[in-house]
Copies of this chain bind each other. A is one copy, B any other.
């Protein structure tokens, strides 16, 4: 290691890395795999007949969440961005490992709040904390890796959408971005949707049932059209999305009615809903599933071509008005770089 310690809060108030682990992390890791967070590694015995689904999302202070931000917002979002991936894959959460980069401005009280909220989230999502690493850094980050289980061979991939499938999304779109704007002090005249950003609720209960229903699926995290483009590319299909069918909250509708930019609402990202395809004959099963899991579910389009079929359209999602005209969007989603 190159540099000497510089974080007074962790080194003094919490008694260093080992104090931090003992006081704040080990209480969240009362499970067999974690070995009390006192070993070099975690150990997990995978149940036979299941595949392990692994997803990682890293969140950097000031890039992926405002800095400073409420500790609960940071913990909630770190968990939700990963849970939405498991939900989209049809996986049941099992465990996670957390790599925590701590900058000197994250004081002991803040870390306590962060870990309290993180523990609450672990319980809510049914995730065990198995291990991780804590390091000093000039800019705080959380890199969370989550592990889920699906019956062998059943993970719902991005590849798999079929010609004629219906396209669905869960929840409402745009509130992730709108909620963030409200956190930042903008759009405060609209109904308060900050919780959609600060405490997102990916549709895990519905997602877990998709293994027998969906042909393809992904989480909507960058922006609806950008994400559906990825699904089209992976599946080798194109799809039509009906603008008038896209579900918004009251706040989202009001934003648009007041002349707000569709591209910002749809392409701002952070919704953590899921988008998937399923054959039309699954419609009744999906309606029942949406009711049983109390999840808003909306059919927004249809897979309209198979790539390589010869007649031209590229593998992407096309947004259409009620007249059928294509609506071109300059920004289809958040660009990470």
Contact = CB atoms under 8 A, between A and B. Distances in A.
Taking the full assembly, how many copies of this chain does it contain?
A: 2
Interface in A186-239: 218-219, 230, 233-234
B48 A48 contact: yes
B2 A65 contact: yes
Chain A interface helix/strand/loop/mixed: mixed
**Contact residues on A (Cβ < 8 Å of other chain), bracket:** 35 or more
Nearest to A98: B56
19 contacts: A1-B64, A1-B334, A2-B67, A3-B63, A5-B336, A38-B158, A38-B233, A39-B218, A43-B52, A45-B52, A45-B152, A48-B48, A52-B52, A57-B133, A58-B99, A60-B136, A62-B138, A99-B145, A141-B141
Given A35-B157, A43-B89, 6 more contacts: A2-B66, A2-B180, A38-B234, A41-B53, A57-B133, A58-B133
A194 to B, nearest CB: 14
A65 B136 CA distance: 12
A10 B57 CA distance: 19
A335 interface: yes
Nearest to A226: B18
A44 B152 CA distance: 9
A337 B336 CA distance: 31
A63 B135 contact: yes
Nearest to A17: B336
**Most central of A43, A136, A155 by chain B CB within 10 Å:** A43
Given A40-B85, A41-B86, A157-B39, A136 B337 contact: yes
A56 B16 CA distance: 19
A258 to B, nearest CB: 23
A64 to B, nearest CB: 6
B41 A89 contact: yes
Interface of A: 1-3, 5, 7, 10-11, 14, 16-17, 20, 35, 38-46, 48, 51-60, 62-67, 85-86, 88-89, 91, 97, 99, 101-102, 130-139, 141, 143, 145, 148, 150, 152, 155, 157-159, 180, 184, 218-219, 230, 233-234, 269-270, 334-337
Contacts of A337: 5, 7, 10-11, 14, 16-17, 20, 102, 134, 136
B336 A56 contact: no
Contacts of A159: 35, 38-39
